[in-house]
Structure 1
Amino acid sequence: MRATVRHEMTEAVAAYEEKPREQWLFDYPAQVALTCTQIWWTTDVGMAFSRLEEGYENAMKDYYKKQVSQLNTLITMLIGQLTTGDRQKVMTICTIDVHARDVVDKIIQQKVENSQAFLWLSQLRHRWGEREKHCFANICDAQFLYSYEYLGNTPRLVITPLTDR
């Protein structure tokens, strides 16, 4: 079971940019799609920080606009016809995406320009280790190997500043 989840995640991470996200997410089980969207969020914010450091002042704001557009697409999908499982998957991704959008908004509001800032490092960040072909969960200076245990297609708690703590 764990080997299967890991295999699916390996494929999903690699395929993420090959088609629009709203199509890509139906190609993979809910847990894999959710984790990979979190991996790509970490990657995209990292790229925005790199662009900021290179002098492109609007990098994070541009990424924020992309997040809002992705959320609007998911909301439109929820209004349409979806199977029960697909509806749960999209709602769960929406929940996590709203939190991710709020984090990026806070980065913009506090004028954070460095990926080593505590505001960013204190977030739970999933990343894909290409060399190891593993997912890692990072927070502050801690790093954990993702365990690939089967979680299924379940809802997630809404993330608020209080639950984030």
Structure 2
Amino acid sequence: MRCTVRKEIQEAVAAYEDKPRDQWLFDYPAQVGLTGCQVWWATDVGIAFERVEQGFETALKDYNRKQITQLNSLIHMLLGDLTPRDRQKIMTVCTIDVHARDVVAGLISQKVTTGQAFAWLSQLRHRWDDKSRHCYINICDAQFQFSYEYLGNTNRLVITPLTDRYTHTVHGLHTFLKIWHW
């Protein structure tokens, strides 16, 4: 099961730019599509920061506009005729995309111009490593390998400032335990 989820995520991440996102989502199971979206969100924000550092001052704002376009496309899909399974998948991606949009809007309003800023590093960021062929989740200075446990097509919690604070607290506890070797 884990080998299959890992293989599917690898394929999804590699194929993400091959077709429009709203079509790409239907090529993969919900968990794989959601993870692929999260990998590409972190990748795209990283690219936007690189562009800002190269002098393209509006790169983050341009990416935020792309996010809004992607969200509008998903909302349009939800208004259409979908199977219950596809509707659940799209609603879950929407939930995560809304948070991602809000994070980028926050970075813009805080005038963050580098990918090394705490406001960005303190976010959960998924990334695919081609060399090890694994998905990793980073937050601040911590890195966790994705477990590839099958979760299915389920609801996701709406991410609020309180759930964000919880994530940071868990990271802080992990760091504390790591320092003290507990």
TM over 0.5: yes
Whole-angstrom CA distance in 1 between matches of 2:16 and 2:84: 23
Q: 1:85 is matched with which residue?
A: 85
1:40 maps to which residue?
40
2:123 — aligned with what?
Answer: 123
Q: The residue matched to 2:123 in structure 1 has which SS? A: coil
Secondary structure of 1:127's aligned partner:
strand
| Deviation of the 1:163 alpha carbon | 1.1
Asked if residue 28 in structure 1 is aligned to residue 28 in structure 2, the reply is yes
Tell me the matched-pair count. Answer: 165
Distance 2:112 2:99 in 1: 17
| 1:97 and 2:104 matched | no
- Percent identical among aligned pairs is 71
1:28: Cα distance to partner?
Answer: 0.2
Q: Distance in 2 between matches of 1:7 and 1:48?
A: 28
Largest Rg, 1 or 2: 2
Distance 1:119 1:13 in 2: 25
Structure 1 residue runs without a partner (length 5+): none
Displacement of 1:65 in angstroms is 0.2
* CA deviations over 1:80-132 (Å, ceiling 9, x no partner): 00000000000000000000000000000000001010000000000000111
What CA distance in whole angstroms lies between the structure 1 residues aligned with 2:114 and 2:162?
25
- Provide the C-alpha distance between the structure 2 equivalents of 1:56 and 1:15, rounded to a whole number of angstroms: 27
**Residues 26-50 of structure 1 deviation map (CA, whole Å, 9 limit, x = unaligned):** 0000000000000000000000000
Q: Which runs of 4+ in 1 moved over 4 A?
A: none
Match of 1:57 in 2: 57
The one-letter amino acid paired with 1:117 is: A
Query: Secondary structure at 1:115's aligned position in 2?
Result: coil
SS in structure 2 of the partner of residue 80 of structure 1? coil
